[in-house]
Amino acid sequence: MRRLLLIIMHTFTEGKFDIAVIGAGHAGCEAALCCARLGLKTVMLTLNLDSIAFMACNPSIGGTGKGHLVREIDALGGEMGVNADKTAIQMRMLNAGKGEAVQSLRCQCDKNAYHREMKRTLENTQNLRIIQGEAQKILTEGNKAVGVLTTYGGIIEAKAVIVATGVYLNAETVTGELRQKSGPSGFAPANYLTDSLIELGYDVRRFKTGTPARLDSRTVDFEKCSVQSGEEQIPPFSFLNEKATENQRVCYLTYTNLDTHKIILDNLDRSPLYNGDIQSAGPRYCPSIETKVVRFSDKERHQLFLEPEGLDTNEVYVQGMSSSMPFDIQRDMYRSVAGLENSDIMRYAYAIEYDCIDTLDLYPTLEFKKVEGLYTAGQINGTSGYEEAAAQGLIAGINAAFKILGRPPFILDRSEAYIGVMIDDLVTKGTKEPYRIMTSRAEYRINLRQDTADFRLTPKIADTPLYTHERKQAYERRLSLYESALKDLNNRTNKQLAESFFKKHELTGNTAVTYADLIRRGCAITDICKHFNVFGEYPAEILKSAETTVKYEGYLKKNAQQIERAKKFEEKAIPKDIDYDEIKGLRLEAREQLKRIRPLTLGQAGRIYGVNPADVTVLIVWLATRK
């Protein structure tokens, strides 16, 4: 339901800026910092200074696929990885037993420290001003964004506007029969901006997400749970940081049981997800405990991770048990779990519904197709997760700044970064539910390993202020070590030592081999280093990167050929003013989809739902005749 705009009788000019960023969540922080660091006068508008970089859900950064995004953000001069390293209390490498392409860093952070550190960074960044206030309207002249009107009458003049409002737009929290107009964790919602977005032409829809309860650690019997310790010598997120993070806290593992499931099933009529009170689309890959119990009825238990929210609080986050059940049912649910029998809930779980937009209305730069200079980033774009939001904020910030500076758009290809995969998915395919990045979404994931993010992406910012002296030194040092390690791996082994190595590992064939040959035969670099007493001068992560490159050399070459072939389509631009109704031979579905999305290249056109290879061929022929 649309709301009436708040009418302000008296207005005043708050200031003139190059870029205005609405929102101070993970997307807004990256956007504002990026624009300011690129030398543009920037203002960031936030509902509450205490909500800057607030971790409303799990106080963790990274995870499968997400860890890749954090390292790519860092490689492009972003702040999330730096801030996560500063506030980490436990580090782990997920999927360590699987291939290197799907291994991802995950960091449990101190929730309050993360907020404080990011706020401190923002407050001390040159060219950046922070204002507490609510945006009411995007101001435009003609077809161009020119500023923001606040609910208190302040007019912020700007050459570009980035909307990064997270889950705050017309937000409502739902717990059982209780529905409240509220943002996450009790913060105020943003009640007025949605109307302005609709008037500008955005297609607005409702999405939903949720969070579990927080328990008082003093009332949890951790002896009944399994300890989940952090890992030692895990590399940090930021390439600027060479020091491994110290683990300061442990997490715990416990499980739901049949009693838990019975409590949930017996009370589904009181669940907003099942009694019709919540009808908006929720995250498929992070379902509530009610959904897990119903959908996987054959399972007798589900994993629950008990994770500390910080070093200065007793709050424990119960990962895996998000819920919108009524308060009394939540109490019974949690207390049915081993170790939680006497637990006290400090913050009850809730679901939250909010407004977001259809990303098919965006260019790959995240600029709105209908209003020049207006960008969106983060959960307003239908994504879920801090990392997805931060990545979009960074890209929106770079593109808004580049547009003002007269530079070409900054667009990452699917073969270059997980950021490119995510944004291409959003603007080409759209999303009907909160979008989450996953390694399975990347067709070239062996090329997009988290350990090579700086080698792939840092050169792209080399001619900008984001490429600081500190980053330049770190990048050049890592690249030099990596290239040197690759070269040394192709040296021949000592024949006598090779013979004993072959015998020890039951290898056959000629022992006159290189270290790289041994890797290709499945030998671990750690075994090679120990037996031959070599490569001790290289940092562990550099040596691991070189080993992985050698191991997957064949796949990397094959992918390079596929990428080169696909590049021809990505470089073939489609005119923005093309009239698809004039092109005979296009199927009706393809014509409607092409008109709706208006792809920029043949490559993007081929990835649109409803456009098949025959339609692309028709486009190729038509474009060739109109050269």
Picking from 557, 584, 604, the residue at the C-terminal end of a domain is: 557
Asked if residue 553 and residue 507 are part of one domain, the reply reads yes
Asked if residue 540 and residue 475 are part of one domain, the reply reads yes
Residue 506: inside a domain = yes
Asked if residue 536 and residue 614 are part of one domain, the reply reads no
Predicted confidence band of residue 6 (pLDDT cuts 50, 70, 90): low
Residue 606: inside a domain = yes
Contact criterion met (CB below 8 Å) for 99 and 50: no
pLDDT for the residue numbered 73: 98
Residue 448: inside a domain = no
With b for 16 or more beta-carbon neighbours within 10 A and e for fewer, the 54-83 pattern comes to bbbbbbbbbbbbbbbbbbbbbbbbbbbbbb
Is the pLDDT assigned to residue 261 strictly greater than 90?
A: yes
Identify the domain containing residue 531 by its residue range: 469-557
CATH number at residue 540: 1.10.10
pLDDT for the residue numbered 5: 59
What are the tens digits of pLDDT across the range 430-478?
999 999 999 999 999 999 999 999 999 999 999 999 999 999 999 999 9
Residue 46: inside a domain = no
Contact criterion met (CB below 8 Å) for 256 and 289: yes
d(CA 155, CA 158): 10
Asked if residue 486 and residue 552 are part of one domain, the reply reads yes
Asked if residue 609 and residue 545 are part of one domain, the reply reads no
Asked if residue 551 and residue 604 are part of one domain, the reply reads no
Query: What single-letter amino acid sits at 543?
Result: L
Contact criterion met (CB below 8 Å) for 374 and 380: no
Asked if residue 525 and residue 594 are part of one domain, the reply reads no
280-284, 309-313, 352-356, 459-463: segment of lowest average pLDDT:
280-284
d(CA 459, CA 160): 26
pLDDT for the residue numbered 1: 42
With b for 16 or more beta-carbon neighbours within 10 A and e for fewer, the 470-483 pattern comes to ebeebbeebeebbe
Quick check: pTM over 0.85?
yes
Asked if residue 540 and residue 495 are part of one domain, the reply reads yes
What are the tens digits of pLDDT across the range 492-532?
999 999 999 999 999 998 888 999 999 999 999 999 999 99
Residue 311 vs residues 49, 108, 221, 231, 306: alpha-carbon distances, Å: 22, 11, 19, 18, 14
Contacts of 132 (CB under 8 A, 6+ apart): 46, 47, 48, 49
Question: Averaged over 584-606, what is the pLDDT?
Answer: 93
Residue 135: inside a domain = no
d(CA 381, CA 203): 11
Edge-to-edge strands of the sheet including 88-94? 60-62, 104-109, 88-94
Residue 51 vs residues 24, 114, 274: alpha-carbon distances, Å: 7, 11, 31
Residue 550: inside a domain = yes
CATH number at residue 619: 1.10.150.570
pLDDT for the residue numbered 242: 84
Edge-to-edge strands of the sheet including 251-255? 226-228, 251-255, 303-308, 315-319, 214-216, 345-347
Asked if residue 615 and residue 543 are part of one domain, the reply reads no
557, two tokens: 């070459």
Residue 278: inside a domain = no
Asked if residue 577 and residue 523 are part of one domain, the reply reads no
* Angle between the N-to-C axes of helices 80-87 and 111-123, in degrees from 0 to 180, rounded to the nearest 10: 130
The owner of tokens 């690759």 is 486
How many domains are there within the chain? 2
What are the tens digits of pLDDT across the range 518-573?
999 999 999 999 999 999 999 999 999 999 999 999 999 999 999 998 888 998 99
Length, in residues, of the chain: 627
Contacts of 419 (CB under 8 A, 6+ apart): 69, 72, 73, 391, 394, 395, 412
Is the pLDDT assigned to residue 368 strictly greater than 70?
A: yes
Which string of DSSP letters, residue by residue, matches 543-582?
HHHHHHHHHTHHHHHHHHHHHHHHHHHHTSB--TT--GGG
Asked if residue 597 and residue 553 are part of one domain, the reply reads no
Is the pLDDT assigned to residue 7 strictly greater than 70?
A: no
Residue 331: inside a domain = no
- Beta strands, E only, 85-126: 88-94, 104-109
